[in-house]
Structure 1
Amino acid sequence: MSLIVLTECLAAPGQEDRLRTALEAMIEPSLDEPGCLAYRIYTDPNRPASMVVIEEWASPRALEKHYTTPHFRHAKQVLELVLAEPMTLRRPMTAPSS
């Protein structure tokens, strides 16, 4: 069974583009990681500063390894500069089997 991770981000005023760029830069390297099944970014059309990342991982181990990658560490540094508040990470849960 896979894990779903939902992360909510709110950009500081004027930082929406930097937030979007930082999150989009995570897509390709994350999808290249073993165990990454999906990595999607959504922007609230009514509130462009609000973005959500939905990730699906094959296992807790794959997710933990993701947190140690250079692209994750870089994004974390950028997010610390552009977020209006700490991001909200929803606890991983089991995805339904197909």
Structure 2
Amino acid sequence: MSLTIIAGFTAKTGREDDLRTALEAMIEPSIDEPGCLAYQPYTDPNEPSRMVIIEEWTSQDALDLHFQTPHFKHVAEVLDRLLAEPFTIRHLTDVN
């Protein structure tokens, strides 16, 4: 059973492009990680300061390893400067 993650972000006013750049920079290194099945950021067209990343991982262990990577630790520091509020993470699993 895979694990789907929805991480939500709200940029500070005027930092929307910086947030988009930071999230896009996470795609390639995350996709290259063992256990990452999908990793895609999206912007809310009605509220450009709001963005999400929808991720799919083979297991909780793979996700836990993701949180320990240098690229995740770097983006977490960058997000501290760009976000209007702490980011949220929702863990979802298949209904069946």
TM-score range, shorter chain: over 0.9
Alignment match, 1:63: 63
Amino acid at match of 1:75: V
Instruction: Please report how far the alpha carbon of residue 48 of structure 1 lies from its aligned counterpart in structure 2 after TM superposition.
Output: 0.6
- Please show how residues 12-51 of structure 1 align to structure 2 within 5 Å: 12-51=12-51
Q: CA RMSD in A?
A: 1.1
Amino acid at match of 1:71: H
Q: Secondary structure at the match of 1:48?
A: coil
Alignment match, 1:95: 94
Structure 1 unaligned spans of 5+: none
Q: Secondary structure at the match of 2:55?
A: strand
Give the TM-score of the pair, scaled to structure 2.
0.96
Instruction: Please report how far the alpha carbon of residue 95 of structure 1 lies from its aligned counterpart in structure 2 after TM superposition.
Output: 3.1
2: CA distance, partners of 1:95 / 1:32:
24
Instruction: Please report how far the alpha carbon of residue 93 of structure 1 lies from its aligned counterpart in structure 2 after TM superposition.
Output: 2.2
1: CA distance, partners of 2:94 / 2:28:
22
Give the TM-score of the pair, scaled to structure 1.
0.94
Which 4+ stretches in 1 moved above 3 angstroms? none
More strand, by proportion? 1
Instruction: Please report how far the alpha carbon of residue 96 of structure 1 lies from its aligned counterpart in structure 2 after TM superposition.
Output: 5.7
1: CA distance, partners of 2:64 / 2:28:
18
Percent identical residues: 59
Q: Secondary structure at the match of 2:23?
A: helix
| Number of residue pairs the alignment of both structures matches | 96
